[in-house]
């Protein structure tokens, strides 16, 4: 969040899961939100495609069929309790096969999961993820009407997917419950900045105030209005900590790589009454992806 310019929100996330592009996404570049790199073309060292499951042709009798026509079978129960909503950001592994047993795409081959908005996926895959909890694995039999709908150049007919929901994060469009003011458990600093650690990091050093960092973030006003989000743009931001508002300089300098914090930044450490900028206290969820330069 640069102090010299206020970035307007540009929600142009590509609708990507390897081959599973919806028609509206074909002209957009592949991007991935929430800190995950966009899927890349498999390298020479990539894993081979997983073999087709034995029940590819027809679902087993104990598979569940939904009203939409999607058929699912739980392969491994999950350990989570909550299920993602349509606007949430899911991280998942998947492999897709055509009815003749040909694997056409797999995150396992790329050795990393995909991270995408649930409501940006093909209908069958999005419906299935909303029925799952973290750690759960399912096999999906997706009818053509919930897949590519006969689109030229895409896998035709019913498709079969093995999907594992690694985890998910709430939609950045939805403000946190404590957006109005820092809760009692938040740490309050003498400057007026308050913060709460949402996820511990894996790094061991803090950036300096003149370091260059890469972060993912979402910002809200205290009435719950989201005004900017790198998560929705699908691309983290990189900048010098001495180039941003004072609350960011102070707050991010306390973090380590991999850490995610919620910052409550008073107006005097944000934009004050500057025209064209958000006013009053601002709330940011910030994930420190990488310290580019100490």
Q: Which residues are designated catalytic?
A: 217, 227-228, 245, 271, 284
The count of other CB atoms within 10 Å of the CB of residue 168 is 24
State the Cα–Cα distance between residues 45 and 109, nearest whole angstrom: 9
d(CA 17, CA 105): 9
Spell out the SS3 assignment of the chain: CECCCCCCCCCCCCCCCCCCCCHHHCCCCCCCCCCCCCCCCCCCCCCCCCCCCCCCCCCCCCCEECCCCCEEEEEECCCCCCCCCCCCEEEEEEEEEECCCCEEEEHHHHCCCEEEEHHHCCHHHHHHHCCCCCCCEEEEEECHHHCCCCCCCCCCCCEEEEEEEEEEECCCCCCCCCCCCCCCCCEECCCCCEEEEEECCCCCCCCCCCCEEEEEEEEEECCCCEEEEHHHHCCCEEEEHHHECHHHHHHHCCCCCCCEEEEEECHHHCCCCCCCCCCCCEEEEEEEEEEEEC
Count Cβ atoms below 10 Å from residue 187 Cβ, excluding itself.
12
């Amino acid at each position: 969040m640069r102090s010299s310019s206020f970035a307007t929100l540009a929600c142009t996330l590509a609708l990507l899961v390897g081959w599973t592009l919806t028609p509206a996404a074909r002209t957009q570049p592949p991007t991935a939100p929430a800190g995950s790199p966009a899927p890349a073309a498999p390298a020479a060292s990539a894993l081979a495609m997983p073999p087709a499951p034995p029940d590819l042709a027809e679902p087993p009798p104990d598979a569940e069929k939904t009203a939409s026509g999607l058929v699912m079978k739980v392969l491994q129960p999950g350990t989570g309790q909550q299920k993602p909503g349509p606007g949430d950001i899911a991280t998942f592994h998947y492999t897709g096969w055509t009815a003749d047993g040909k694997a056409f795409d797999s995150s396992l081959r790329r050795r990393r999961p995909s991270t995408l908005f649930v409501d940006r996926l093909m209908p069958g895959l999005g419906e299935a993820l909303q029925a799952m909890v973290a750690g759960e694995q399912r096999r999906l039999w997706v009818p053509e009407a919930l897949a590519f709908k006969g689109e030229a150049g895409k896998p035709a007919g019913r498709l079969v997917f093995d999907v594992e929901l690694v985890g998910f994060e709430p939609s950045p469009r939805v403000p946190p419950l404590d957006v109005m003011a820092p809760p009692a458990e938040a740490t309050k600093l003498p400057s007026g900045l308050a913060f709460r650690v949402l996820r511990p990091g894996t790094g061991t050093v803090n950036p300096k105030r003149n370091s260059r960092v890469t972060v993912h973030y979402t910002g809200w006003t205290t009435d719950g209005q989201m005004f900017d989000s790198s998560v929705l743009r699908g691309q983290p931001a990189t900048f010098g900590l001495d180039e941003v508002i004072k609350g960011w300089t102070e707050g991010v300098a306390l973090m380590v790589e991999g850490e995610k914090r919620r910052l409550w930044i008073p107006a005097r450490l944000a934009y004050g009454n500057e025209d064209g900028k958000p006013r009053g206290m601002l709330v940011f969820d910030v994930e420190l992806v990488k310290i580019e330069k100490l």
